[in-house]
Amino acid sequence: MQIRICAVGRLRAGPEKTLIDDYLTRFARTGRALGLPPVDLIEVDDRKARGMGAEADLLRAAIPKGAMIAILDERGKTLTSPQFADRIAGIRDQGRDLALLIGGADGLDPSLRAQADLSLSFGQMVWPHMLVRVMLTEQLYRAATILSGSPYHRV
C-alpha cells in the first residue's frame, strides 16, 4: 500500500509545515505496525498559472496507478474519525494505494472531482488549503491511533 497526499502549492517553513511534519512522523511510527506505510506528500505547482485544468493534470500525474482517489472538498461527505480509520483500513486490506487530493485556491477541476472515488469534507466551511493539509495529516495520525487501540482518540 502507498498513501500519497497530492496538493497544489508549495508549503513554506512555518507553523503549518511544523505541524504537518510532526503528524506525518507520528503516523509513520504508529502505522508501521499496522501495515500502513509512511505518507508521501507530493506538492505540485502550476508555475505558469494556467488554471484548474493545468492543476488537475499535475495532480493526476502524481496519483499512483490504480489508486483509490479521495478528494478534499467542502461538498464532500463528512466522516467521523473512526469511520475515516475504517476506510483507511479497508483500503489497506484491499491492497490498494490511496491518493488524497487537495486543490488550489479555486478548488479542484470538475473533471478531477468526477474521477474521485470518495469526496471528503472537513465541514461546510471553506478552509485555507494549508490548514486542510494540517487537518488531514492529523486525521491520518488519529486513524492510525484508532486502529492501534491507542488512547489518543477518546470518544
Read off the pLDDT of residues 85-125 as tens digits, 9 standing for 90 and up.
Answer: 999 999 999 999 999 999 988 889 999 999 999 999 999 88
- Tell me the β-bridge partners of 71: 101, 119
3-state secondary structure of 87: helix
* The CATH fold of domain 3-148: Alpha/beta knot (3.40.1280)
- What is the distance between the alpha carbons of residues 61 and 48, in angstroms, rounded to a whole number? 17
- What is the distance between the alpha carbons of residues 45 and 7, in angstroms, rounded to a whole number? 9
C-alpha atoms less than 13 angstroms from C-alpha of 77 in its C-beta half-sphere: 11
Confidence of residue 150 (pLDDT cuts 50, 70, 90): confident
Residue from 117, 113, 124 nearest 78 by CA: 124
Write down the pTM of the prediction: 0.93
pLDDT tens column, 42-69 = 999 877 777 888 999 999 999 999 999 9
The Cβ of residue 141 has, within 10 Å, a number of other Cβ atoms equal to 24
3-state secondary structure of 78: coil
- What is the distance between the alpha carbons of residues 41 and 133, in angstroms, rounded to a whole number? 10
